[in-house]
Structure 1
Amino acid sequence: MAKILCVLYDDPSTGYPKSYARDEIPAITRYPGGQTAPTPKAIDFTPGELLGSVSGELGLRSFLESQGHTLVVTSDKDGDGSILDRELPDTDVVISQPFWPAYLTAERIAKAPNLKLAITAGIGSDHVDLDAAIEHGVTVAEVTYCNSISVAEHVVMMILGLVRNYIPSYQVVVNGGWNIADCVQRSYDLEGMHVGTVAAGRIGTAVLRRLAPFDVNLHYTDRHRLPESVERELNLTFHTSAAEMVPHCDVVTINAPLHPETEGLFGEKLLATMKRGSYLINTARAKIADRDAVVKALESGQLAGYAGDVWYPQPAPADHPWRTMPNHGMTPHISGSSLSAQARYAAGTREILESWLAGTPIRDEYLIVDGGRLAGTGAHSYSTRM
């Protein structure tokens, strides 16, 4: 029998929901490009429930315990003596979400001799030391594509929120004011601007498709160039690197995975080459942008705005400078954890567990590391230090 350790974020401050704003969510069975949504043998939850918090348990307890497995669910993942550290030594499977990551460092993996599988309930497995996973024979899997469109929608919302100065204008209303000039002195139209994405995978391409109707000029850079038909359809301009692309853009959105080639990419040097008054959106990973360089660029006016929902570490400390820097639109890491997305990544987590527990192959598109090497999606999207 297996021990599964699931690290999830805390329940709402008002308690686990007894009802929801909507009675149902749309059923998504297939993603753009043809990949099917998760297809577990069964689910023990109602789509649209809060599954990503501790009490939601990703809907896994009944399934696992009915087969004699042990499920431990906690939000306590950091600091000396955390439940994560106490439970890890005899754990077979660790599940966590990018929004509340269980950082599986090389040190933690070395202290977990039974660990065989690390599952990301969502997408983005950089909270796992992939080199250490390869070295120790740990399989790493994620629910590829489950919340890519969720994140793409969040990116478009943030772009419009910054360019149109939405958040400060909303605050004027909340505070009982009506000074229109206060609101519009930083408000512009997105129409006609040049918008570029760093990486045009599932999320980046979905962002480009959603922005095309806004009559903007679209740019992208990616290690894998898109088909000519897609470039022609969306009227895209390809650039061989971020350094080549960003000087042309009014808005830049980062949609790349974090790995050695992207860590620290948006530092002082690259930010200085952007147009003065441009906007930077980062829903990928915080460490792709240099924390202090972003603050300085906003304070100097080099950036007109920065928005994202990724931080390092997560949760971010109360004194993190991104909380108080000017002209930002930060959220906690929520872009891929809508109730709609949770239904898919909970189902995908169960699908992965069903395969692993039965000794059958995990879907190739879910794999990041397997058999001591990068595999599946991991081989396409990640690089390692090894």
Structure 2
Amino acid sequence: MTVQIAVIDDWQNVARDVVDWSALSDVGEVHFLHEYPADNATFVGRLREFEVICVMRERTRFDEDLLRQLPKLKLLVTGGMRNAALDLQAAAALGIQVSGTDSYKHAAPELTWALIMAATRNLVAEANALCAGEWQQGLGGDLHGKTLAILGLGSIGQRVAQFGQVFGMRVIAWSENLTAERAAAAGVTYVSKQELFEQADVLSVHLVLSERSRGLVDAQALAWMKPAALLVNTARGPIVDEAALIKALQKKQLAGAALDVFEQEPLPAQHPFRTLENVLATPHVGYVSRQNYQQFYSQMIEDIQAWAAGAPVRLLG
């Protein structure tokens, strides 16, 4: 019997073309679904016939209620090796295997640095003004000699730190698990949490979202920052207290924010981040690069082939 395979969450309609899905012709039939349902009932109607579902990161939530209504589902495959939107415990209890993929490690830090550069030099406003027939709207900022503060010195944070060092910035870091020795090994100065926020000219968030990190960048932390500082978040929206950040930006308590992630995604139509002049916002594109998608989807194909052969790989949970 032919296995029915669904590829969902393909908001840009690119999944079909970035890799060769014909590699699965011996396993089953691949369907590309582009609708984004708002509720489980609608989702069940679209997915109840599929035995394999490929999801992109954390775009769609597969909670216990949804999983219980998909009795044919045997394998969930996600881009990346971590997906907080999947209830792994419920999946295991229902006999649904979950596999992940590796990721292209440079996409997120490159986007982070693009945001830092664009926000610092006011590039969007300048480019838009030029297209409108105008010329030179203001003075851009500078990075050389300034302090780059890294909140979370993992693999992405370390790469962003390297970029800062190349640009002649002083780089400092803090997280609850970071030690002075680990920071020094990366050529970074370890500081306290308060010092991180107080000394930052640019503060970039690179923590994993957890109960410990949720809301870590709160009103107190924002109050520690310089009025001329820039906050950058390409990690996860809930790490920053969104209401506190909006208030700080409205009151010009800090110069601006460059954000790729939000508390609710997609970002609601009337959200203040869409209209605040001191916000540069992008639609969670930190991992949305051709090479990353090629890696995600090619390894999804490998996961499905391995599962079909009875030897699943890259299992989560």
TM-score of the two chains, using structure 2 as the length reference: 0.87
Aligned to 1:112: 70
1:67 to 20, 26, 31: 26
Aligned to 2:262: 311
Aligned-partner SS, 1:5: strand
Q: How much does 1:80 deviate?
A: 4.2
Aligned to 2:249: 298
2:157 maps to 1:197 = no
Contact 1:74 1:83 (8 Å CA) reproduced: no
Contact 2:101 2:300 (8 Å CA) reproduced: yes
1:93 to 31, 52, 55: 52
Aligned-partner SS, 1:71: strand
Aligned to 1:208: 161
2:219 maps to 1:263 = no
Aligned to 1:21: none
2:124 to 167, 172, 176: 167
Superposed counterparts of 1:74-153, under 5 Å: 74-80=33-39, 84-98=43-57, 101-122=59-80, 124-133=82-91, 136=94, 138-144=96-102, 146-153=103-110
Q: How much does 1:82 deviate?
A: 6.8
Superposed CA offset, 1:187-227 (max 9, x none): 22111221122222221111112221111111223455479
Equivalent pairs, count: 316
Residues 1:328 and 1:236: Cα distance change in structure 2 (over 3 Å): same
Aligned-partner SS, 2:106: helix
Alpha-carbon distance between aligned partners in 2 of 1:231 and 1:224, rounded to the nearest angstrom: 11
Alpha-carbon distance between aligned partners in 2 of 1:258 and 1:151, rounded to the nearest angstrom: 15
Aligned to 1:183: 138
Spell out structure 1 runs of 4+ moving beyond 6 A: none
Residues 1:270 and 1:349: Cα distance change in structure 2 (over 3 Å): same
Superposed CA offset, 1:207-253 (max 9, x none): 1122211111112234554794x64454212246x555322212111
Root-mean-square deviation over aligned CA pairs: 2.8
Contact 2:228 2:254 (8 Å CA) reproduced: yes
AA in 1 matched with 2:251: S
Superposed counterparts of 1:211-226, under 5 Å: 211-222=164-175, 224-225=177-178
Alpha-carbon distance between aligned partners in 1 of 2:231 and 2:93, rounded to the nearest angstrom: 36
Aligned-partner SS, 2:67: helix
Q: How much does 1:156 deviate?
A: 0.7
Structure 1 stretches of 5 or more lacking a match? 13-50, 370-386
Q: How much does 1:101 deviate?
A: 0.9
Alpha-carbon distance between aligned partners in 1 of 2:27 and 2:112, rounded to the nearest angstrom: 42
Superposed CA offset, 1:120-178 (max 9, x none): 2246412223454455454444323x233111001011111112222212222111112
Aligned to 1:235: 187
Alpha-carbon distance between aligned partners in 2 of 1:198 and 1:116, rounded to the nearest angstrom: 39
Structure 2 stretches of 5 or more lacking a match? none
Residues 1:59 and 1:281: Cα distance change in structure 2 (over 3 Å): same
Residues 1:294 and 1:323: Cα distance change in structure 2 (over 3 Å): same
Equivalent pairs: percent with the same residue?
26
Aligned-partner SS, 2:280: coil
Aligned-partner SS, 2:246: helix
